[in-house]
């Protein structure tokens, strides 16, 4: 199976923060079931509470979170898949490798990083999503304190 791999961000709440990997291939029912099972196994292995991949009907594409891509790719290669695309399949997540200037990478965009972290926690712990109100209050306090300590302007 030949799979076209590309970076994009279909989720409005994460635009400008990071990207996921899109996968497009010729439909094959057996392969789709294999991909679904691979994504479920990766979610369990990585202990991800959130969805790490799936079908996006509006984009007519599958997506895989970058954190899960190495495991998913290994499984797909194991069954003979090949990949094509602009080389994004090996690109690390944007937050990895970012160091303070002069230490091997561009400066860290703390505002973006904190916002992403906050959103991920809010998805897991917000009371409207089954979380506990006290946990959400603690996340808000920690986020504000972290922004204060790093001198990051509030959102």
Instruction: Please identify, among 39, 65, 90, the residue that sits at the C-terminal boundary of a domain.
Output: 90
Residue 155: pLDDT above 60? no
If one counts every other C-beta atom within 10 angstroms of the C-beta of residue 99, the result is: 11
* Segment 48-58 mean pLDDT: 85
Residue 24: pLDDT above 80? yes
| pLDDT at site 98 | 39
Task: List, for residues 76-122, the tens digit of each pLDDT value.
Answer: 999 999 999 865 445 544 444 433 444 444 566 778 888 888 888 98
- Residue 91 CB burial class (10 angstroms; 0-12, 13-18, ≥19): middle
Helix %, strand %, coil % for the chain, to 5? Answer: 45, 15, 40
* Segment 31-41 mean pLDDT: 94
Domain housing 55:
2-90
The verdict on 108 and 143 lying in the same domain is yes
| pLDDT at site 101 | 40
The overall pTM is greater than 0.85: no
The verdict on 137 and 71 lying in the same domain is no
Please count the structural domains in the chain.
2
């Amino acid at each position: 199976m030949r799979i076209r791999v590309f970076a994009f961000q279909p989720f409005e709440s994460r635009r400008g923060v990071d990207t996921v990997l899109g996968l497009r291939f010729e439909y094959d029912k057996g392969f789709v079931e294999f991909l679904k099972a691979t994504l479920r196994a990766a979610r369990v292995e990585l202990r991800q509470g959130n969805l790490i991949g799936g079908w996006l009907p509006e984009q007519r594409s599958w997506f895989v979170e970058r954190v899960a891509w190495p495991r998913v790719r290994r499984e797909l290669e194991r069954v003979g898949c090949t990949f094509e695309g602009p080389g994004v399949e090996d690109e690390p997540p944007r937050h990895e490798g970012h160091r303070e200037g002069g230490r091997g990478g561009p400066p860290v965009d703390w505002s973006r990083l904190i916002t992403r972290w906050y959103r991920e926690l809010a998805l897991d712990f917000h009371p409207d999503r089954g979380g506990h109100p006290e946990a959400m209050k603690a996340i808000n306090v920690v986020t504000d304190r972290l922004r204060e300590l790093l001198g990051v302007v509030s959102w």
